[in-house]
Structure 1
Amino acid sequence: MSVFARKSFCACRLSRSGGHTRRLLGTTYLPGNIHRNNQLQDPTTSSTGPKNKISSTWLSSNGRLGKFLYGPNCQSKSGLHLSSSYREQIQEVIRSSPGWHTAYKHRDELHRARRIVIRLGANVNHREEGYGLALGHLASIVEQCAELQQIDGYEILIVTAGAISLGKQKMNEELRMSLSMRETLSTIDKFRAAEFMQSITTRAAAAVGQPELMSLYEAFFAQYGIKVAQLLVAKTDLDSEDARNNFAATINDLLSNNIIPIINGNDVVTLPISGDERDLRKVIARLDRMINDYVTSHLVCEIKADLMIFMTDVEGIYNKPPSVDGARLIDTITPKMVEELNHIKKSDDGILGSFEAKLMSSFLAVENGTSVVICGRPKQNTIKDILNGRKIGTFFSSSNEVSMQAELLAKNARNASRLLQNIPANIRASAIRTLAELLKSNEDEILLANKEDILESERNGLSHAISSDLILTSSKLSSIYNEILQIADYSHDTNGRIVSKTQIDEGIELKKVTVPIGVLLVLFESQADCIPLFSSLAIVTGNGLLIKGGNEAFHTNNLLMNLVSEALETINATDAISLITRREDNEDLLKLDEYVDLIIPKGSPAFVQFIKKQSQAIPVLGHLESVCHIYIDEDADVEKAIKLVCDAKCDNPTASNSAETLLIHENLIKNTDIFTHLCAALQDEGVSIKGGPTLAKRLAFPPPLSKSFRTHHGSLKCTIEIVPNISEALKHINTYGTGHTDVIVTENQEAATNFLKNIDSACVFHNCSTRFADGYKFGLGTEVAMSTSRIHARGPVGVEGLLTTKWLLQGDGATAQEFSEGKRRFLHKKMSLDQEER
């Protein structure tokens, strides 16, 4: 069988000699032995005769490229079309070859890119009138490129346009300098001057403007101590293999010497463009598509670039024309999605439209190992933000298996929640029990996935607090199992429960009933138990749920989410709960106020504070740093006080309801040895004691001074301070407390009543440990969150916190006018609830 070849716009060449595979540009040669070994057979190709030319995988399915994309020897605009199975076999052979360079599948991988090509579209740098460059845009690009090269060590190449518009501007200036005063002021001569400018060919303008363009780049980059080099490339230059190799070698030499190559298509030797050249902007755009798109796509493959950033005059690829209502910027595009973009067509001049050309060249670059992002005009840190995975422009994925965008998942959750709340309570409870049994039967797999996450976190040096939250054990899974079963028992007491009834008048009855909030967004760092517990709470309350977990628990989260989906399948509500896995969705999640009704962050105070600050329109249920106090009154029982303090501090020192500050009445310091016994008991538990300023003055050898009374230690540390009376204790707690949980230890009922009444916190206890501030211990079921807010929910939030209410009014045809005219009177009679209604 003859050697099989592929000629394409931007393909890779694989030639094998003595077992060695080389990656070159231009043509993909699959030798006969590869063809036979892989049994590549296709009915559309002949087994005899000369090398056959076929298009690339993606382009063969579209067949829209003109001759200029295939090279001068191409005999067909569409290329030879192969069956999809044969194309897949060819692509598999290519990708399995040594040295193959694979494009990234997701945005969060772009930070790995090191060699970056910045492609500046024709309309990015040009002024509106078409003459000259927009220097502000150019300066922004230069500044970002300089920083990326000098500080971050990236290799930067720039493919630019602008020579023609600069040349037109220069020649226009020369023309005006040659005119007399009369000619300059004359309207007729102005028209003549305009006609003269239109008569200047684009090739002549390019020849004049190219030195000016390079002078600008050289001057801008010189401000950062960076050298630049000019490379002018024509389409015909890339048809020769030797020329391509020399081109790539030159670029590699420049980059190795920290010189930024500035590459431009050689407009001077380009064949004339058919059509009217009077519209300069259209001419430049056509040339830009013909030359620079062609050059860029060859370039990125030849030099094995990691990333190509297309900067254009629009923000990216839209699902419909941007001017049409409902047009939405596509965040990530795959080859399969292109067929739906019917609004991207050829331009009137027969040349591929701006974005069709960019789509084709972009997917060809991706197919050959270079990731692509198409974005709008440069802004501050645009390039760096793209490298950091932020959602800017449209990212071209190398995989059709791209996870759904957060907005679509949220929309699905909204629709599914309406279905979920209409499912009978006993059916929802059965799904929750199914989830519990799935956890039990898959315990070994869960622990194995969790072990993988733990090992990964240890390799990454995560803090002890995060690692401890991540760990799952058999006993912890058993506890989760029991909690889930308990949640299922709440199913009869959630949706549709009547809170109150009022008789407005005879025949008019008003009811207040419980309903789901809608769609919840739970964000957590590494808590491995969040997915099954919050999923159970969402099912029992009829809420939709979006879950975004930290990467620390990646394998555990995915396995647990699969079990949740399996349980939801039993009631046909799989869309009600979704796991967000894409890092680039983080920002968008906090802006989905159209679909998300409540955000619940679970994690460190810094994490919760970040979520609260970023969420502008969606309410956040949670608390920041907690500083819980225990005040030991002068009438306290000493043994009871020591027992409560040790439990509040040492039971779980990382918990938000762990005691941080102890206030001791000064009479206990003077007249008893409680301070000595208390310190000894704490030190036996490994607690490090810090002192307040008053305590430091009273003791000859005081403990180290605490930096602040507002410190949440989150560890085996606590602060001790002396207060003269209960009034000062109240003042101290209301000043430095965070409104979480505060305790008084006393046998004086009057003092206890004073404390309970005047402490402004969500939880205020008398002779109880702060550790009781927990939804489960309160009998609220699994705790959703601890809220220090004063609206909706305060304190430990259980199932009730995931419900809201609505009013149902049933009447007999009454009108408001009847009451205003005195024909009917309001009774507003409170009605008792039946046993079934409660």
Structure 2
Amino acid sequence: MCNLLNICAKVSFKNVTLRNSAVISTARNFSVKSRHYGVNVDKRTLVSAERKKQTFSDRSQLKYARRLVVKLGSAVITREDGNGLALGRLSSIIEQVAECHHEGRECIMVTSGAVAFGRQKLTQELLMSLSMRETLSPSDHTREDAGSILDPRAAAAVGQSELMSMYDAMFSQYNVKIAQVLVTKPDFYNEETRKNLFCTLSELISLNIVPIVNTNDAVSPPMYIHDDTVVPGTGKKGIGIKDNDSLSALLAAEIQSDLLIMMSDVDGIYNKPPWEDGARMIHTYTSKERDQVQFGQKSKVGTGGMDSKVQAATWAMARGVSVVICNGMQDNAIKTIISGRKVGTFFTDSATTSATSVDVMAESARSGSRVLQKLTPAERASAIHTLADLLLEKKEKILEANAKDLEEATKSGLEKPLLNRLSLSEGKLKTLSIGLKQIADSSYENVGKLLRKTRLADNLMLRQVTVPIGVLLVIFESRPDSLPQVAALAIASANGLLLKGGKEAAHSNKALMDLVKESLQTVGAQDAIELVSTREEISDLLSMEKHIDLIIPRGSSDLVRSIQKQSQHIPVLGHAEGICHVYLDKDADPVKALKVVRDAKCDYPAACNAMETLLLHEDHMSGPLFTEICNMLKNEGVKIHAGPRLASQLTFGPPAARTMKHEYGSLECCIEIVQDMNEAIDHIHKFGSSHTDVIVTENENTAKQFLSSVDSACVFHNVSSRFADGFRFGLGAEVGISTARIHARGPVGVEGLLTTKWILEGTDHTAAEFNEGKRIWLHEKLPVN
């Protein structure tokens, strides 16, 4: 018989290695072994015997969990009608456990289901028996009668073998071996059986077998009995095993698990029963949350309830086990949790931050939006003017913070185009300040603007007015100058705002956000704008459709496409790519052409409105303009790629472009030859991104046709594509550039952040009166001024 020292040695030294060595290193840092009541540790960790193993402090660390306990509640395993198991749901969970197992994680499952499985089988047999008796002696027996007369212990005895056969069949599909471990409460409080139990679990783990643990319900006493038996060798009371929640917590603590996932039929822990008004989900639970939770009734299917789950989770948490209580009916819940997503309620006793949760921020932003709506236009303008002045008054503080970001970004190897976007200067701050004042001066005609006025009938007046969209989420990369711009637009449009900046601009964003808060305080709306600086995953923000009304991404095409793909319920405003064209028509003025092309490509090549493809009328191939354009671009350091037609006409020339649909975002561009304007338009429609496209020509008819035919958000004649900008358009700034075909398009200023509502005022009008001819429709349109 092995002793507890050997047990822990086997558990500690026979771990299956995670594939990624970097993960191993980090995982070891998070897996400080310690002494749990009565369980001795191996020699390597005796020096830490008095230090309690710390839980993970953040969800992002859950990917380092090496030892995992998954508890499946009765409500997860059992079908909604209570008859039999939910095989489809269970199969998905087993697939996830098997995947974790093959990744090198040590998995243990604590499962319910034996009673349900046995009851299903015995009920069928009992019904057949009742049916035979009914034939001989009619009675009123029903299926419910059959189920109610079954003893749970008998059902468990029948169901245990069936349950394990099912688990074995499902896991075998993934080449995972399992073993059944039946336990009763005395097994934990009898020193001999307790040693044997953990010796067995240790050996199974070392043999790469997944233990399936369940209470032996065929012989166990009723679960409502609570034991406070003193654990052998400790003089301390253990947790009373009254259900599988407490059983899983005890096992997780005993085997020093890194993570316990308790799967239930609710999304997580709420501050009160979720069906009651004012119920709010607690995404991160620490010991201080205990007094804030009101518990409802226990589970309708199993023996435990939320109170039981919280007690078990906090007990395990106090012994160094991180816990997540989640809805086991959610797709891929286990893998989603391990990936760090905000699923369920995360229990930790070592949270590293006291930052306000994003949910609370969003609620505050909505309340703040309503405060902004109540302000007069002059008051909103005053807050923006204050922000504009602060940008200049505190420029030293801003530039100092920006210098820290630039230094860290340079060390981390951030690409040069992103470094350019990250950089702030006195000139940029001055331009920002001017733009914000433009927004302030134009904000008097935004919220509450009358768009339509109609007299429907006598004394029945209908008005359509502008109102804020609600709460905006703006996600931006690298460009800290976006923060004050977007903040000013939100204030002017009375929208609540959540800002999620890139970590590369963390210092700059914080400094700028302090100024935003300072300006909002002058009008009592400091909660209207919040900077999300926690480690919330973007994917979690995109699922907050109850709190966020519109998402506006500003960054790389990969970022925008990812957000557009992930956001299933919240509309996204923006553009994924900025593939902008400049077409030099046969009637183009060479001097203007050189000037426009140089500015469009070289002024700020990282911008989304920079030229990426130059289309050249084929007549210019026999003249000097082609050579002059190429020499100018080369002198500016631009790398040229040749389109298919150009490449075919040159024996020696630029390398062929890999694709004509590419945003370089740097000092690179493609040159292609077209036969005429119509072919240029076709090329733009085929390879462009509907952002900004330009024609350079002295032919007014050609220009007019180009401007009306090109279907892009911005179409220009004889000017650089770089004019596609909110500030240059006189909007003050832009929240982004949209290539969408609904709502706002092109540079989006204040008007693009507004929607409308209808206001109807009458006396005692009813629809029935019009149906009966007692009142007459007028539908008279009235002037709005």
TM-score normalised according to structure 1 size: 0.74
The residue aligned with 2:187 is 237
Task: Report whether the alignment pairs 1:708 with 2:659.
Answer: yes
Mapped partners of 1:206, 1:803: distance in 2:
61
| SS of alignment partner, residue 599 of structure 1 | strand
From 577, 598, 603, the counterpart of 1:646: 598
Task: Report whether the alignment pairs 1:741 with 2:692.
Answer: yes
The residue aligned with 1:140 is 92
Structure 1 contact 301–369 (Cα < 8 Å) conserved: yes
**Cα deviation digits, residues 592-625 of structure 1 (max 9, x gap):** 5565443322112232233334445544332232
Task: Report whether the alignment pairs 1:794 with 2:745.
Answer: yes
Mapped partners of 2:121, 2:467: distance in 1:
70
The residue aligned with 1:8 is none
Mapped partners of 1:746, 1:729: distance in 2:
13
Structure 2 contact 609–724 (Cα < 8 Å) conserved: yes
Amino acid of the residue matched to residue 424 of structure 1? T
| SS of alignment partner, residue 36 of structure 2 | strand
| SS of alignment partner, residue 23 of structure 1 | coil
Any gaps of 5 or more consecutive residues in structure 1?
Answer: 1-20, 30-95, 276-286, 834-838
From 350, 373, 383, the counterpart of 1:421: 373
**Cα deviation digits, residues 89-129 of structure 1 (max 9, x gap):** xxxxxxx9864322234434322322110112234334678
Task: Using the TM superposition, give the Cα deviation of residue 299 of structure 1 relative to its aligned residue in structure 2, in angstroms.
Answer: 1.7
The residue aligned with 2:178 is 228
Mapped partners of 2:54, 2:293: distance in 1:
25
Task: Report whether the alignment pairs 1:372 with 2:323.
Answer: yes
Task: Report whether the alignment pairs 1:620 with 2:572.
Answer: yes
The residue aligned with 1:764 is 715
Structure 2 contact 269–282 (Cα < 8 Å) conserved: yes
The residue aligned with 1:687 is 638
Amino acid of the residue matched to residue 729 of structure 2? F
Mapped partners of 1:675, 1:666: distance in 2:
10
Task: Report whether the alignment pairs 1:656 with 2:608.
Answer: yes
| SS of alignment partner, residue 546 of structure 1 | strand
**In structure 2, do the counterparts of structure 1 residues 213 and 620 end up closer, same or farther at CA, with 3 Å as the change threshold?**
closer
The residue aligned with 1:16 is none
Mapped partners of 2:112, 2:764: distance in 1:
73
Amino acid of the residue matched to residue 368 of structure 1? R
Structure 2 contact 33–256 (Cα < 8 Å) conserved: no
**Cα deviation digits, residues 631-658 of structure 1 (max 9, x gap):** 2122322233122212211112221111
Task: Using the TM superposition, give the Cα deviation of residue 253 of structure 1 relative to its aligned residue in structure 2, in angstroms.
Answer: 4.3
The residue aligned with 2:45 is none
Task: Using the TM superposition, give the Cα deviation of residue 345 of structure 1 relative to its aligned residue in structure 2, in angstroms.
Answer: 5.3
Spell out the pairing of 1:512-551 with structure 2 (5 A cutoff): 515-551=467-503
**In structure 2, do the counterparts of structure 1 residues 250 and 441 end up closer, same or farther at CA, with 3 Å as the change threshold?**
farther
Task: Report whether the alignment pairs 1:722 with 2:673.
Answer: yes
Spell out the pairing of 1:264-663 with structure 2 (5 A cutoff): 264-267=214-217, 270-271=220-221, 290-321=242-273, 330-344=282-296, 353-378=304-329, 380-398=331-349, 403-436=355-388, 438-439=390-391, 446-447=398-399, 449-450=401-402, 453=405, 463-473=415-425, 475-496=427-448, 515-581=467-533, 586-587=538-539, 589-590=541-542, 596-616=548-568, 618-663=570-615
Judge which range, 99-108 or 361-370, deviates more: 99-108
The residue aligned with 2:7 is none
Task: Report whether the alignment pairs 1:263 with 2:213.
Answer: yes
Task: Using the TM superposition, give the Cα deviation of residue 243 of structure 1 relative to its aligned residue in structure 2, in angstroms.
Answer: 6.3
Task: Using the TM superposition, give the Cα deviation of residue 395 of structure 1 relative to its aligned residue in structure 2, in angstroms.
Answer: 2.9
**Cα deviation digits, residues 189-209 of structure 1 (max 9, x gap):** 997999999888655665565
Mapped partners of 1:172, 1:129: distance in 2:
14
Task: Report whether the alignment pairs 1:751 with 2:718.
Answer: no
Mapped partners of 2:465, 2:122: distance in 1:
78
| SS of alignment partner, residue 110 of structure 1 | helix
| SS of alignment partner, residue 675 of structure 1 | helix
Task: Using the TM superposition, give the Cα deviation of residue 664 of structure 1 relative to its aligned residue in structure 2, in angstroms.
Answer: 1.6
**Cα deviation digits, residues 690-717 of structure 1 (max 9, x gap):** 2233323333334333343332222222
Judge which range, 395-404 or 770-779, deviates more: 395-404
Mapped partners of 2:456, 2:298: distance in 1:
67
Q: How many residues align?
A: 729
Mapped partners of 2:83, 2:584: distance in 1:
80
**Cα deviation digits, residues 222-270 of structure 1 (max 9, x gap):** 3333233343333333336786666556544433432222222344553
| SS of alignment partner, residue 254 of structure 1 | helix
Mapped partners of 1:214, 1:824: distance in 2:
73
Structure 2 contact 438–732 (Cα < 8 Å) conserved: yes
Mapped partners of 2:685, 2:76: distance in 1:
57
Judge which range, 109-118 or 487-496, deviates more: 487-496
Q: RMSD of aligned C-alpha atoms?
A: 4.6
Judge which range, 548-557 or 353-362, deviates more: 548-557
The residue aligned with 2:34 is 23
Task: Using the TM superposition, give the Cα deviation of residue 317 of structure 1 relative to its aligned residue in structure 2, in angstroms.
Answer: 3.5
**In structure 2, do the counterparts of structure 1 residues 237 and 574 end up closer, same or farther at CA, with 3 Å as the change threshold?**
same
**Cα deviation digits, residues 477-533 of structure 1 (max 9, x gap):** 454445444444444454456678899999999987655443322122332222222
Mapped partners of 1:134, 1:238: distance in 2:
31
**In structure 2, do the counterparts of structure 1 residues 807 and 487 end up closer, same or farther at CA, with 3 Å as the change threshold?**
same
Mapped partners of 2:88, 2:757: distance in 1:
54
| SS of alignment partner, residue 700 of structure 1 | coil
Amino acid of the residue matched to residue 349 of structure 2? S
Mapped partners of 1:213, 1:805: distance in 2:
58
Amino acid of the residue matched to residue 24 of structure 1? R
| SS of alignment partner, residue 708 of structure 1 | coil
Mapped partners of 1:223, 1:477: distance in 2:
62
Mapped partners of 2:116, 2:512: distance in 1:
59
Sequence identity, in percent?
Answer: 47
Mapped partners of 1:326, 1:796: distance in 2:
39
**In structure 2, do the counterparts of structure 1 residues 497 and 208 end up closer, same or farther at CA, with 3 Å as the change threshold?**
closer
**Cα deviation digits, residues 249-306 of structure 1 (max 9, x gap):** 654443343222222234455345689xxxxxxxxxxx99615333322221222212
Mapped partners of 1:184, 1:234: distance in 2:
40
Task: Using the TM superposition, give the Cα deviation of residue 153 of structure 1 relative to its aligned residue in structure 2, in angstroms.
Answer: 2.0
**In structure 2, do the counterparts of structure 1 residues 814 and 492 end up closer, same or farther at CA, with 3 Å as the change threshold?**
same
Task: Using the TM superposition, give the Cα deviation of residue 821 of structure 1 relative to its aligned residue in structure 2, in angstroms.
Answer: 11
Judge which range, 364-373 or 513-522, deviates more: 513-522
Mapped partners of 1:763, 1:274: distance in 2:
70
Mapped partners of 2:78, 2:456: distance in 1:
70
Task: Using the TM superposition, give the Cα deviation of residue 358 of structure 1 relative to its aligned residue in structure 2, in angstroms.
Answer: 1.2
Mapped partners of 1:782, 1:146: distance in 2:
52
Structure 2 contact 243–304 (Cα < 8 Å) conserved: no
Structure number with bigger Rg: 1
Mapped partners of 1:747, 1:192: distance in 2:
90
Spell out the pairing of 1:36-75 with structure 2 (5 A cutoff): none
Mapped partners of 2:756, 2:99: distance in 1:
54
Task: Using the TM superposition, give the Cα deviation of residue 368 of structure 1 relative to its aligned residue in structure 2, in angstroms.
Answer: 2.2
Amino acid of the residue matched to residue 673 of structure 2? I
Structure 2 contact 545–570 (Cα < 8 Å) conserved: yes
Structure 1 contact 666–724 (Cα < 8 Å) conserved: yes
Mapped partners of 2:178, 2:84: distance in 1:
21
Task: Using the TM superposition, give the Cα deviation of residue 573 of structure 1 relative to its aligned residue in structure 2, in angstroms.
Answer: 0.9
Judge which range, 389-398 or 184-193, deviates more: 184-193
Amino acid of the residue matched to residue 548 of structure 1? K
Spell out the pairing of 1:53-132 with structure 2 (5 A cutoff): 99-126=51-78
**Cα deviation digits, residues 702-752 of structure 1 (max 9, x gap):** 433334333222222222222233333334334433332222222333433
**Cα deviation digits, residues 517-554 of structure 1 (max 9, x gap):** 43322122332222222112222332221222334444
Task: Report whether the alignment pairs 1:676 with 2:627.
Answer: yes
